[in-house]
Structure 1
Amino acid sequence: MNYLDYLRTDKFPHFWCSGCGNGIVLCAIARAFEELDLTLENTVVVTGIGCWGKADDYVRTNSFHGTHGRALAFATGIKLANPSLNVVVLMGDGDGITIGGNHFIHAARRNVDVTAILVNNFNYGMTGGQYSGTTPEERITTTSRYGHIEEGFDICAVAKAAGARYVARASTENPQQLKNLIRDGIKKQGFACIEAISPCPTHFGRNNGMRSPAALMRWVNENSVTPAQAVAMSEEELAGKLVMGLICDRPGEDYSTKYQHVIEKAQSEVKK
């Protein structure tokens, strides 16, 4: 299949704002599907609420549009009901790690075999630019007009600490890297988290003196380092930096496989 076969091109142009990176992430996902030769029948895209939550409107695979913050809960149920499915979960920073933070850490802890793709735009984009759990400290939002006083979550650090087997980050300025990380995350058995950095140009950018997508990209580049560079940096030097690339890739039997062992054990006990 061609990557366009996974998309509802008749629904284009999409509704996202000019300069938003969501279209780039969607294309990276479709190209990853193409390289893995996934079928429409055996692939499920699960979304929540928010700008990125609208992505299921544009895919031709099976899809499930859930409630705010609950995408991973629904995805877990879908995967356990049919472990043969490829389950890909699309969430924003507000949906996935702020409102849905509890589901996020437990899906990672349980090592549920789903691929979570979190688009981090550093605010609640759809509802007016309020701060989210990833908004950097001192940044201006519609609900922090004099500077945000909280430290933002490092999504990848949370995923790794919670037990995710595969953790990676890329920005929408590097779609090739993003596509490769998504592809490898889908291939990974167990919970995979790929964070896509895509600052909101409509709210976050304008509120913080970056009124064009190009300015936002420069800001991301200036604050990005590779995993190799990060190893040589102190904690103080890493403050406010975004580590781009593969952050964690470790083995571990996924939840569905472990659960099948329990089923088999129970069945053998019944037969005795």
Structure 2
Amino acid sequence: MSTMATSSPLALFSGKPLRFLAAGVLLVNGLFPALWILFTSLKTEGELTLKPITWAPHQPTLANYVTAFSDQPLHLFLFNSVMVALLSTALTLVVSVLAAYALARLHLAYRGLILSLIIAVSTFPLVTLLVPLFETMRALNLLNTWVALILPYTVLSLPVCTLILTSFFEGIPQDLENAAMIDGCTRLGALFRIVVPISAPGVFTAGILAFVNSWDEFLLALSFNSNPALRTLPVGIQLYQGEFSFPWPVISAALVVGIVPVAVLIVIFQERVVSGLTAGSIKG
């Protein structure tokens, strides 16, 4: 009986075969587009139009990367993106740490309602917030500044980061903070000296998510900044296409330059991010 059950077709959809299939799908879905962009960035225009299609470049060239930096101020786009992403991530972490600590430790009235509202706000499509945010930035005279992007990016990343950190803070014994406060720490001191270091995986996870959200964002960056000197990378990349031309090898080279910083960040902090997501889901 057990032998027949094991050899049944249903066994193919459970256990190791299913895990290998899922891993293969994720690998192809995540790796193939990145490899295709990389290969395209190393091809010439002539090779790109060959039929049948060539997957790997026959004669790899770095000329597209040189063109990407010479045709547009790609280094300036990179600088603006790095600064906006770093500053918005730092502000997001400070605010979300304080908000998460209040939700996890203070006996707030309507705590469940607050958490529900945070989840609800995080589901709003960005396009529905564009006009109110634009009018707010214009009223504050912040258009064409980094602040016009940093503040909205912080607000957009806060719900997810706050929920992640709340889950972590709830799993830390409160006795550790009480002992620190007996030794002379204030509540704020106990938070940043005891709770935050212990919750490092969660803090790294929230920080990576906030950074990637800021780094990839296009709609607000296009709408709030018309100053060429303040363009971020997603907006700058679209400038490579002409009215009737699409230099895909050059555009792909600029895309690779934009992918590298995030990829390096993920590789460096991979273990912390994975442990942060796993621990957060278990504690939640």
- Using structure 2 for the length normalisation, give the TM-score: 0.24
Larger helix fraction of residues: 2
Give the number of the structure whose residues are more often strand, by fraction: 1
**Whose RCO is larger (CA < 8 A, sep 6+)?**
2
Name which one, 1 or 2, has greater alpha-carbon Rg: 2
TM-score (norm 1): 0.25
